[in-house]
Structure 1
Amino acid sequence: MAAGAPRIFVSHLQGVAVFDPAGDQVGRVRDLVVMLRVGQRPPRLLGLVVELATRRRIFLPMTRVTAIQSGQIITTGVLNVRRFEQRPTERLVFGELLDRRVTLTETGEEVTVLDLSVHQLPARREWEIDRVFVRKGRKGGAFRRAKGEALTVEWTAVTGFSLEEQGQGAESLLATFEQLRPADLANVLHHLSSKRRAEVAAALDDDRLADVLEELPEDDQIEILGKLKEERAADVLEAMDPDDAADLLGELPTDEQERLLSLMQPGDAADMRRLMSYEDRTAGGLMTTEPIVLRPDATVADALARVRNRDLSPALAAQIYVCRPPDETPTGKYLGTVHFQRLLREPPPSLVSSIVDTDLQPLDPEAELPAIAGFFATYDMVAAPVVDEAGSLLGAVTVDDVLDHMLPEDWRETEFHLDEEVATDGS
């Protein structure tokens, strides 16, 4: 559902078929998973519980839902088929929120929840519950409920759902810092006690925890990962940028590395093994295996659509790499780079093969950090392709990864600026 699209009542999603991009049905929606917040803030819709044909129920994050339309849900095609397990901070909409007794704030009258509506926030990936469909009157048989007046109210017009301000442990602390950027939340976690840090990490969803882990010092990363169940640890590693996940895996004992790799999706595990085969401070060790790759017959419109992906960092979105098939790294023959600014100057139907920059020399995977930094400084680049001897694109190095490795090892610890009193609250 695109930003600005009309709200959807959750009752219309129960049993709806879920399809992959090829049009094959993968399952049906059995519930929705939300995270309640402190006070009157609307809950976040985290994802869907989908029942596969095998009767296994899995979790589908909303970040992997591309469309909700005409009684069907379309996904990105990437599914984690591990069995769904509800976490302490999560609530099931059908199982826990519907048919619940809540109170109208204005009148103090108790009402029964019949339905909830969700919508996607403008210009953001997040989804929220915004309205509640309720019926007045005492809860009882169908006849008694039918006599009561039904009305739709804003989420803030009722009480009886949200977390209490006190006594909710990590849930309350997590809600307090929900709007922080990953780097700032990492700062908070770094200054918490080990016990408190583990509680908050356990309460974060996989994508959010992955973003935060990438910003933490190495010791904190290892500690947090070690306190997660192995299956969840594998999920979080899959959600991290491949280069950051490979760096973290490389710090673990070999037997633990292998256990986690065996739990990951085969494609993600293969990327991890490939990255871990290079020395840390080389282009191969620094690169991500997920740059934007397009075939020569793709258009400028295709390229701009890929660049608009909200999951991409600004550095990765700054350019695309044109390669012959296959277009997953390692690719077919690397043909050149197209810079974002050049895309903006060309007609949308133009082919990307007609505007490639072939003069920019790619990095060798064995190139060491000083040579990489010199390359970025010389050509004013924010990302650079990494190509092997056979001419295949292996990945791309971004300027943030170069800076991470050029700064002192403890820079994440010494450069934290969040007020110490706030950071340690509740530890």
Structure 2
Amino acid sequence: MAAGAPRIFVSHLAGVPAFDPNGEQVGRVRDLVVMLRVGRRPPRVLGLVVELTTRRRIFLPMTRITGVESGQVITTGVMNVRRFEQRPTERLVFGELLDRRVKLVETGEEVTVLDVSVQQLPARRDWEVDRVFVRKGKKATAFRRAKGETLTADWSAVTGFSLEEHGQGAESLLATFEQLRPADLANVLHHLSAKRRAEVAAALDDDRLADVLEELPEDDQIEILGKLKEERAADVLEAMDPDDAADLLSELPEDDKERLLSLMQPADAADMRRLMSYEEHTAGGLMTTEPIVLRPDATVADALARVRNPDLSPALAAQVYVCRPPDETPTGKYLGTVHFQRLLRDPPYTLVSSLVDEDLQTLAPDAALPVIAGFFATYDMVAAPVVDEAGSLLGAVTVDDVLDHMLPEDWRETEFHLDEGEGAATHGS
């Protein structure tokens, strides 16, 4: 939804149909999943519990929702149909927040929660609970009808929901470090005990855990993945960047690797197998299979819409690759690269095929690490296309993956800090 999107009371979402982009109904909304935060900060809305036509209830992340309109929810059509399982840090709005007794901060008066509203934050994909609709007076019972004044208050105006600062357990720890970048949260996890690390990992949602795993040392990755239920481990691997997931899978015993691959979506498993077929320190072993691919008849407007995807890393969003169909890697014939700055200089209706940088060299999948590093240094690039002998785009190598493999193996275990006096980044032991 756009910035300034209207406030939606959750009672209006109960039982509404959820549709895919083609207008086919996939199920009905049965609940909202939120994560409480420390103090009086509003809860973040993680997603919806959707009941499919088969009666199975699944989790649909807010990142997979493109619209919440009157009486319906529109999804991207991409869904994980594994059964929903509530995690320790999650709360169900209908099941746990409504009808709850809380207090008004200003007066200390007890009130009953009748409804809550959610709203999308401006210029972001995140959603929050922002208001609470409450009734004053005693709670209704089987023998007493509810009476009393009703009012709508800001989330911060009531108490009785949020986590306490001194609370114990993974949920308080996660709430405290919620704003940390994945690399910084990974550093926190690395220094926890194995037991505590497993508790925190179990409480993280799949996307957050995937981001954090990518930043952890190999031993920590294997340890955490091994303590997850196999179905969830497969979900987390699917949420990771393909090259990082393939690296992690390749370190597992053969039986464990094959079992996890069998639980993944076929397309994701195929990508993993393809990446694992290349030598580790080659372009094929370092590349991601999910760069931005556009057909020759796509426009600058189409390209910029793809570049805006917040799930993309800055390196992958820096350029788009123009190829003939099919659009998924391995693609049809690779035609060239269009840099982000060039997209900003041309009218929206311009065809990307007229803007390609045809002189930019490509990497062969068997190109060795020194060759790849030389490419980035020569052309001042942050990502490079990997193309096979047939001219098909296989993927793209990003500069961060090159650095990961050029730095010492234990570089992630070295504390990174900023010297505030000089503003210089240094590594300490």
Give the aligned partner of residue 423 of structure 1: none
Q: Is the 8 A contact 1:88 1:203 kept in 2?
A: yes
Q: Is the 8 A contact 1:184 1:418 kept in 2?
A: no
Query: Is 1:208 paired with 2:208?
Result: yes
Cα distance change, pair 143–121 in 1 and its aligned pair in 2 (3 A): farther
CA distance in 1, matches of 2:323, 2:299: 13
Query: Is 1:291 paired with 2:294?
Result: no
Query: Could you report, residue by residue, the CA deviation over 1:311-363 in whole angstroms, capped at 9, with x for unpaired residues?
Result: 11110000000011110111111111111111111110011111111111211
Give the aligned partner of residue 120 of structure 2: 120
Q: What is the correspondence of 1:248-287 to structure 2 with a 5 Å cutoff?
A: 248-287=248-287
Q: Deviation at 1:272?
A: 0.6
Q: Partner amino acid for 1:218?
A: E
Q: Partner amino acid for 2:140?
A: G
Gaps of 5+ in 2: 420-429
CA distance in 1, matches of 2:250, 2:132: 48
1:360 partner SS: coil
Give the aligned partner of residue 222 of structure 2: 222
Q: What is the correspondence of 1:341-420 to structure 2 with a 5 Å cutoff?
A: 341-417=341-417
CA distance in 2, matches of 1:306, 1:252: 34
Q: Deviation at 1:35?
A: 1.0
1:224 partner SS: helix
Give the aligned partner of residue 311 of structure 1: 311
2:375 partner SS: helix
Query: Is 1:232 paired with 2:232?
Result: yes
Cα distance change, pair 165–418 in 1 and its aligned pair in 2 (3 A): farther
State TM-score, norm by structure 2.
0.95
Q: Is the 8 A contact 2:140 2:146 kept in 1?
A: no
Q: Deviation at 1:264?
A: 0.7
Give the aligned partner of residue 129 of structure 2: 129
CA distance in 2, matches of 1:77, 1:330: 23
CA distance in 1, matches of 2:145, 2:323: 63
Q: Deviation at 1:63?
A: 1.2
Q: Is the 8 A contact 1:21 1:75 kept in 2?
A: yes
Q: Is the 8 A contact 1:2 1:67 kept in 2?
A: no
CA distance in 1, matches of 2:162, 2:5: 26
1:6 partner SS: coil
Give the aligned partner of residue 425 of structure 2: none
Gaps of 5+ in 1: 420-427
CA distance in 2, matches of 1:351, 1:291: 19
Q: Is the 8 A contact 1:188 1:418 kept in 2?
A: no
* Structure of higher RCO (CA pairs closer than 8 Å, 6+ residues apart): 1
CA distance in 1, matches of 2:164, 2:377: 52
CA distance in 1, matches of 2:363, 2:33: 44
CA distance in 1, matches of 2:125, 2:208: 12
Q: Partner amino acid for 2:346?
A: E
Give the aligned partner of residue 109 of structure 2: 109
Q: Deviation at 1:124?
A: 2.4
Give the aligned partner of residue 138 of structure 1: 138
CA distance in 2, matches of 1:74, 1:97: 25
Identity percentage of aligned residues: 89
Q: Partner amino acid for 2:340?
A: F
Give the aligned partner of residue 5 of structure 1: 5
CA distance in 2, matches of 1:128, 1:220: 32
CA distance in 2, matches of 1:201, 1:146: 42
State TM-score, norm by structure 1.
0.96
CA distance in 2, matches of 1:338, 1:234: 34
CA distance in 1, matches of 2:392, 2:73: 36
Q: Deviation at 1:75?
A: 1.4
Q: Is the 8 A contact 1:138 1:144 kept in 2?
A: no
Q: What is the correspondence of 1:239-250 to structure 2 with a 5 Å cutoff?
A: 239-250=239-250
Give the aligned partner of residue 84 of structure 1: 84
Q: Deviation at 1:141?
A: 4.9
Query: Could you report, residue by residue, the CA deviation over 1:10-52 in whole angstroms, capped at 9, with x for unpaired residues?
Result: 1111111111122211111000011112221111111100000
Q: Deviation at 1:80?
A: 0.4
Query: Could you report, residue by residue, the CA deviation over 1:358-412 in whole angstroms, capped at 9, with x for unpaired residues?
Result: 1112110010100000011001111011111111111000011001101010111
Give the aligned partner of residue 49 of structure 2: 49
Give the aligned partner of residue 58 of structure 1: 58
Q: Partner amino acid for 1:393?
A: L
CA distance in 1, matches of 2:214, 2:66: 25
Q: Partner amino acid for 1:298?
A: A
